[in-house]
A and B are shown apart, each in its own frame.
Chain A
Amino acid sequence: AQSVTQLDSQVPVFEEAPVELRCNYSSSVSVYLFWYVQYPNQGLQLLLKYLSGSTLVESINGFEAEFNKSQTSFHLRKPSVHISDTAEYFCAVRAFSGGYNKLIFGAGTRLAVHP
């Protein structure tokens, strides 16, 4: 069965510092991976996705993630964070079984950016 592990429940960081949010997955089939961001009391917004092709994917607001098949990882990085990046981040993998398609989420990582 597919699963997702986010290794850090909370990541505190100072503004303008780099950050890495870690995600490992297990999947025995073709891998499709996603990072979502959630601001307080809101739904989830797609940040970036890996479907195929280049293993490095980027978002419009400076985040990037690299698909590493040998390490079964999809870590999210940003070279310089802003206060506005404070949010909860979820890694997800597509699961496909019995003819049904669904997303399996990790437990989330709360990113707190301090001035």
Chain B
Amino acid sequence: DGGITQSPKYLFRKEGQNVTLSCEQNLNHDAMYWYRQDPGQGLRLIYYSQIVNDFQKGDIAEGYSVSREKKESFPLTVTSAQKNPTAFYLCASRPGTGLEAFFGQGTRLTVV
């Protein structure tokens, strides 16, 4: 089945540790996105990538980093510089000529 896979679904980390969230898609989509979701704030864009080896900062990129070495993979690293990392993280992808985005099931990160 084609789709977007985010892993793990739940993740716990100690404060001060970096953590990497996985996002893999087998839809052959060109563009990929990372969003952060907090209650009452909707989805805020962290980073996005239009093609391999290219990515751009979104609205809240501070404290995060990404890479796009392969078309199907767009991992997000939450660094210790992110002051409030506990949130629900959503990955999405979009075909090159399409307008709508397709979402993964999300990763809930809790930092204690």
Interface residues of A (CB under 8 A from B): 6, 9, 32, 34, 36, 41-46, 49, 51, 90, 94, 99-108
Contact of A41 among B44, B48, B101, B108 (CB under 8 A): B108
Output the residue of A34, A44, A104 with the most chain B CB within 10 A. Answer: A44
Chain A hits for B31, CB < 8 A: 101
Contact of A43 among B42, B48, B105 (CB under 8 A): B105
Q: How far is the CB of A94 from chain B (nearest CB, A)?
A: 6
Q: CB distance A45 to B42 under 8 Å?
A: no
Interface residues of B (CB under 8 A from A): 4, 6, 31, 33, 35, 40-45, 48, 50, 56, 58, 88, 90, 92, 94, 99-106, 108
Q: CB distance A102 to B41 under 8 Å?
A: no
Chain B hits for A102, CB < 8 A: 33, 45, 48, 58
In whole angstroms, how far apart are the Cα atoms of A45 and B4 in the complex?
A: 12
Q: CB distance B99 to A42 under 8 Å?
A: no
Contact of B42 among A51, A94, A108 (CB under 8 A): A108
